[in-house]
Amino acid sequence: MKYIKFSDEELNKADSVSLVGLLQSYGEQLKKSGSEYEWDYKGEKVTIRNNFWYSHYTETGGKAISFVQKYFGMSFPDAVVMLLDGTHHHIICEREAQSRKKEFRLPERNENMNRVFAYLSITRGIDKEIIWSFSKAGLIYESKEYHNAVFVGKNKAGEAVHAHKRSSGSYKSYKANASGSMPQYSFNWRGKSDRLYLFEAPIDMLSFITMHKDGWKNHSYAACCGVADSVLFQLLQDNPNIKTVLLCLDNDEAGQSSNARITEKLKGKGVNYEILIPKNKDWNEDLLSQMKGDEEKCQATLFSYQPF
């Protein structure tokens, strides 16, 4: 990784970026309250005022750089570069900017994926053939250093530009996106049908596919892997064959709040959508209930919308 020393001027400019404009550029919905705005992050109320933020849940706050670090999962230098580029203050020379953009690196691959395969198939109940299908496509593997499950996101050209890491051990729970990941290309599968299924996490996405295996490869799927739903609208842009979006977010306050926010955007764009709500908290819980024979505990609720 190339080191870039930022000047005080650069840091001040990055920290002064309007968070309202930043979130709106990602399609996030903000509620105006006097001179401030309120942003709902998975049920967490965050107050935004110009370049300042404050979380009422964690009772922490700061300026633009710390906001991008916390809610976009970026390192300090990546957050600074993103904010500088976003304000069109091209202070960093073109050569250095390009070097920063190339800093995304997939975690080093382990020689096998025995631990991850066991975790996904045994602990999480995901179908083995589905795991292998994603593995063969270069979308799932095991990292060498920590043996994390790595869920890879590829762009339209098939290039890896996003990686979501999740611990595969039962003794700890770790989830994070790799530094430099592009949120609009988080973990996804592109099919040729007119249907796109959107999830919060990769394991929920794989669990849903396990329960609905027939013809699954024909459809498109994506997991947000974080705060932004930009992957949804990027896939709609990249794949004009997609006509209906199926929102499959968690059955909790945060998930259903996100459903309401996203459906308003889809209505504004005239996109058909359906909402699938798992019976339990999420699709993996539904899958595990199904495996135990509790069929009555995993019947999803369906709502639909067609603008025409």
pLDDT tens column, 201-223 = 999 999 999 999 999 999 999 99
pLDDT tens column, 234-272 = 999 999 999 999 999 999 877 887 888 899 989 999 999
- pLDDT of res. 89: 32
Q: Is the pLDDT of residue 305 over 60?
A: no
85 belongs to a structural domain: yes
Q: Which two tokens stand for residue 265?
A: 């955007």
pLDDT tens column, 154-197 = 999 999 999 999 998 765 678 888 888 888 999 999 999 999 99
158 and 275 both lie in a single domain: yes
The residues, any chain, with a CB within 8 Å of residue 258's CB and separated by 6 or more, are 42, 200, 229, 249
Q: Which two tokens stand for residue 126?
A: 């995901």
Domain-ending residue, one of 48, 76, 101: 101
21 and 159 both lie in a single domain: no
Tokens 């395969």 locate to 117
84 belongs to a structural domain: yes
35 and 179 both lie in a single domain: no
Mean pLDDT of 221-230: 83
Q: Is the pLDDT of residue 145 over 70?
A: yes
88 and 127 both lie in a single domain: no
63 belongs to a structural domain: yes
Q: Longest Cα pair distance anywhere in the chain, in angstroms? A: 62
CA separation for the pair 273, 197 (Å, rounded): 10
92 belongs to a structural domain: yes
Q: Is the pLDDT of residue 1 over 70?
A: no
Nearest to 185 by CA among 151, 136, 142: 151
- pLDDT of res. 93: 34
Q: Is the pLDDT of residue 299 over 70?
A: no
235 and 264 both lie in a single domain: yes
Range of the domain at 83: 8-101
AA identity, residue 300: A
- pLDDT of res. 2: 46
CATH of the domain at 231: 3.40.1360.10
3 belongs to a structural domain: no
CA separation for the pair 75, 297 (Å, rounded): 41
61 and 152 both lie in a single domain: no
150 and 215 both lie in a single domain: yes
Tokens 């051990």 locate to 169
287 and 187 both lie in a single domain: yes
Domain-ending residue, one of 101, 136, 170: 101
Domain count, the chain: 2
- pLDDT of res. 33: 84
CB 42 within 8 A of CB 228: no
- pLDDT of res. 300: 62
Domain-ending residue, one of 101, 124, 157: 101
Residue 37 bridge partners (DSSP) = 32, 48
State the Cα torsion 20-244-195-116 to the nearest 10°: 30
67 belongs to a structural domain: yes
275 and 147 both lie in a single domain: yes
195 and 91 both lie in a single domain: no
171 and 92 both lie in a single domain: no
106 belongs to a structural domain: no
pLDDT tens column, 73-127 = 888 888 888 888 643 333 333 333 343 444 789 999 999 999 999 999 999 999 9
- pLDDT of res. 148: 95
Mean pLDDT of 137-155: 96
- pLDDT of res. 307: 58
222 belongs to a structural domain: yes
CATH of the domain at 88: 3.90.580.10
